[in-house]
Amino acid sequence: MGKYLRSQGYDFPIELFVSRYRKVATAYRTKRYKNLQEVGNHILVSETLRMIGIGAKSADPHVTSAVEHYFTPWKITLAPDAHRVLEDLNGRFTLSLISNFTNSAFLNRSLNNLGINRFFDHIIDSLSIGWRKPHQRIFKHFLDLSGVKAKEAIFIGDDLNADIKGAKNLGIKAVLLKKSEDIESNSID
């Protein structure tokens, strides 16, 4: 991000930006996991720029572009059977996706590129809501948006704390989806 911002006319040593960004990101990450309030990457970048003496707001077009540039090489991939499972469930159930993610635009673009956004009635990300799983607010938002009661919903997730504990805290049935590497590492030879 530092190199990108320099290419947009910001004047600072790259090493200074990187060291300050790491400091800001670590502080916010600690805070984020402690109170579960989500903080987007654009906040981290603008805070870093302020620390090095450059006043840039989080909504500044260069900050937004820097974050998008940062995420450009990222690729979200699907488990081998995910598309087939979504196809099978499509139309039979109301499907929603809830994700702890700090870049809503990237998440939505990725789901579109994978061809799976069409399966979801609602796509909820922590940045848009302001709260990360397992905080009850993100799960309550899902319930409100989908119009179902907690006892009628089933949440499938791959994280015991964020997904399963978060859903169960509101009375939502929860299913832990084990990743293939978890299954392989727990297999008996």
End-to-end CA distance of the chain: 45
Strand positions, DSSP E, the chain: 96-99, 122-125, 154-157, 173-176
Cis ω before 80 (30° cut-off from 0): no
Amino acid at 126: S
Q: Which residues contact 66 (CB under 8 A, 6 or more apart)?
A: 1, 4, 5, 8, 45
- Chain position carrying tokens 């598309």: 83
Q: Looking at the structure, do residues 102 and 129 belong to the same domain, yes or no?
A: yes
24 inside domain:
yes
Q: Looking at the structure, do residues 42 and 110 belong to the same domain, yes or no?
A: no
pLDDT value for 180: 64
Q: Which of 50, 71, 92 is the last residue of a domain?
A: 71
56 inside domain:
yes
Host domain of residue 43: 2-71
130 inside domain:
yes
13 inside domain:
yes
pLDDT value for 80: 87
Q: What is the mean pLDDT of each run of 10 residues along the chain (189 residues)?
A: 92 95 95 92 95 92 94 92 94 95 94 96 96 97 95 95 96 89 42
Q: Looking at the structure, do residues 169 and 103 belong to the same domain, yes or no?
A: yes
- Please, is 33 exposed, middle or buried when counting C-beta atoms within 10 Å of its C-beta (0-12, 13-18, 19+)? exposed
Q: Looking at the structure, do residues 37 and 113 belong to the same domain, yes or no?
A: no
188 inside domain:
no
Q: Looking at the structure, do residues 36 and 92 belong to the same domain, yes or no?
A: no
Q: Looking at the structure, do residues 105 and 156 belong to the same domain, yes or no?
A: yes
Indicate the pTM of the whole model: 0.85
pLDDT value for 89: 95
